[in-house]
Structure 1
Amino acid sequence: MPVSSGVRKRIREFLDPDDELQYVFPADIVGSTNPSVFFAVTRKSITIMTTGYLSRKSPKSVVSATPRNQRIGPVETSTGPWFKFNGVDYEIDDEYVSVVRAADAEIRRDAAKPEDPLPDL
């Protein structure tokens, strides 16, 4: 099920108000009893927020934020969708594989753009 507008609104409260939320998806840390997390991908950063133990639908605090120039995946799907990000293994539901891939595709597309030969014009 897609992340609801209410959850997106709560996630925005943790982000820079001048930034634009592009992608959001929930994930679980592999082998952990910790709460789930949300990945919030914006123009500027990839922010990971932890949820509470009682509800997986509400972000509670920011765990980490990294610059947006980093890929999230690739997503491994042979045993169930998972990926490693900043040294941590995360599991996601099948429906969010395309979200991770879309976010990563933007990074590859931006990196493939040629440098402006006349930036001062």
Structure 2
Amino acid sequence: MPVSAGVRKRIKELLDPDDEIHYVFPADVFGSTNPGVFFAVTRKTITILTTGYLSRKMPKRVVATTLRNHRIGPVDTSTVPWFKFNGVDYEIDDEYISVVHAADAEIMRGKPEDPLPDL
């Protein structure tokens, strides 16, 4: 299910007012019972926001911010879809794999592929 307009509005309230959200998706810290998180990929940053224990559907506060020049993936889909970001393993629902790929493709635009990758 896509992230609701209410969640996007709450995320926007917690971000730099001059920034704009490009992608948002929920994730869980792999193997943890901690609250869930939301990744907000903006023009400037990748921001991770935590939810509360009572409601895993509403972001409460920012826990980490990274400059936008980092990739989020790749997503490993051999089991439950998961990826490692800043040393932490996160799992996501299948429907958000394409969101991670789109966010990564956006950052990779403008960087030409190596025409001779084997040399």
Report TM bin, short chain.
over 0.9
Could you tell me how far apart the structure 2 residues matched to 1:29 and 1:74 are?
Answer: 16
Q: How far off its partner does 1:38 sit?
A: 0.2
Residue 32 of structure 1 is matched in structure 2 by: 32
How many equivalent residue pairs? 113
Long gaps (5+) in structure 1: 114-121
Residue 106 of structure 1 is matched in structure 2 by: 106
Q: Following superposition of structure 1 onto structure 2, how do residues 1-121 of structure 1 map, counting pairs within 5 Å?
A: 1-112=1-112
Residue 116 of structure 1 is matched in structure 2 by: none
DSSP 3-state at the match of 1:66: strand
DSSP 3-state at the match of 1:110: coil
Could you tell me how far apart the structure 2 residues matched to 1:20 and 1:10 are?
Answer: 13
DSSP 3-state at the match of 2:14: coil
Could you tell me how far apart the structure 2 residues matched to 1:111 and 1:55 are?
Answer: 40
Could you tell me how far apart the structure 2 residues matched to 1:21 and 1:112 are?
Answer: 25
Moved over 6 A (4+): none
Could you tell me how far apart the structure 1 residues matched to 2:110 and 2:3 are?
Answer: 26
Q: How far off its partner does 1:112 sit?
A: 3.1
Long gaps (5+) in structure 2: 114-119
Could you tell me how far apart the structure 2 residues matched to 1:59 and 1:110 are?
Answer: 32
Please report the TM-score for the alignment, with normalisation by the length of structure 1.
0.91
Q: How far off its partner does 1:57 sit?
A: 1.0
Residue 117 of structure 1 is matched in structure 2 by: none
Q: Deviations over 1:18-52 (max 9, x none)?
A: 11100000000011111000000000000000000
Alpha carbon RMSD of aligned pairs, Å?
A: 1.1
Q: How far off its partner does 1:56 sit?
A: 1.1
Q: How far off its partner does 1:111 sit?
A: 2.6
